[in-house]
Amino acid sequence: MSVFRIELKVRDYELDMQGIVNNGAYFNYLEHARHEYLLEKNIDFAALTEAGIHLVVIRSELDYKQSLKSGDRFVVEVSVERISKVKFGFRQRVIRLSDEKVCVAGLVIGTALNQRGRPSIIPEIEALFAE
């Protein structure tokens, strides 16, 4: 399965007092990359939300290996894998462009909650695994 990539640059408001990107900001980077990936696959998170389908994260496992700093450019990678009948996973990495070092790597597991709050894998997500 192919790996989806977006390229971003650190914004200084994402740095903390240590002068490095705050841990919470990586979560934002990863989420943004997932939504861009889904959009490329014609899955519009905002449109799903309005339709009452909530894609939600149920678990995340992240390893922080290197820190991004002011001015750093980086890539966020996304690839999907099936976890169970109602769970799907996103393998994700944040890679600094200057030296190709992996800064963050991990797995984010999600499900889709329908209007009654029941977890499932919606057909649009199901189709991701058929590729």
Among positions 14-53, residues that touch a copy of itself (CB under 8 A) are 15-19, 22-25, 27-28, 31-32, 35, 39, 44-46, 49-50
Q: Is 44 a catalytic residue?
A: no
State yes or no: residue 75 binds a copy of itself (CB under 8 A). no
Cα–Cα distance list, 96 to 47, 57, 105 (Å) = 32, 25, 12
User: Could you give the CA distance from residue 40 to residue 37 in angstroms, rounded to a whole number?
Assistant: 5
Q: How far is the CB of 33 from a copy of itself (least distance, A)?
A: 10
Gap between the Cα atoms of 8 and 85, Å rounded? 33
CB 87 within 8 A of CB 109: yes
**Strands 88-96, 73-82: pairing kind:** antiparallel
The residue from 16, 44, 63, 72 that is catalytic is 16
The residue ranges that bind a copy of itself (CB under 8 A) are 11-13, 15-19, 22-25, 27-28, 31-32, 35, 39, 44-46, 49-50, 54, 56-65, 67, 69-71
Please list the active-site residues. 16
